[in-house]
């Protein structure tokens, strides 16, 4: 078996990008085959809630069980399309940059030291 993780490039569908409050990391809402999900990936088992982190994956035949950080387990067919999320690539607390120039925010302006 090959380990796969959810990315924008292997998504069945890319929905939209969300940017929550400035202190939180943004993410892109996506849909993936359940069999692509690995520990550490984000999935959205409950509509309208924030994504949850997968901490345990159990595969048995064509079924997969995903356990989140709260200990809740959700079962799917391994080929079923499920709601997932791909986090933004930049680190928390570090503002994103555009072509090497700092990005300013009206809420909190941060200048990088060069």
The residue ranges of every structural domain in the chain are: 13-102
pLDDT, average across residues 77-89? 90
Q: What is the pLDDT of residues 30-51, one digit of tens each?
A: 999 999 999 999 999 998 888 9
DSSP notation for 51-102: PEEEEEEEEETTEEEEEETTS-EEEEETT-EEEEEEE-SSPTTS--EETTEE
30 contacts 42 by C-beta, under 8 angstroms: no
CA 58/CA 94 separation, integer angstroms: 35
Model pTM? 0.70
Radius of gyration of the chain from Cα atoms?
16
């Amino acid at each position: 078996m090959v380990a796969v993780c959810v990315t924008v490039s292997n998504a069945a569908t890319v929905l939209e990008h969300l940017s929550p409050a400035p202190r939180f990391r943004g993410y892109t809402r996506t849909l993936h085959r359940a069999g692509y999900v690995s520990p550490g990936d984000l999935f959205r088992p409950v509509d309208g809630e924030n994504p949850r982190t997968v901490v345990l994956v159990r595969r048995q035949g064509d079924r997969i069980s995903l356990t989140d950080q709260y200990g809740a387990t959700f079962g799917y067919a391994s080929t079923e399309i499920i709601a997932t999320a791909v986090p933004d690539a930049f680190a928390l607390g570090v503002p994103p940059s555009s072509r090497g120039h700092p990005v300013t925010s009206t809420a909190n302006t941060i200048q990088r030291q060069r």
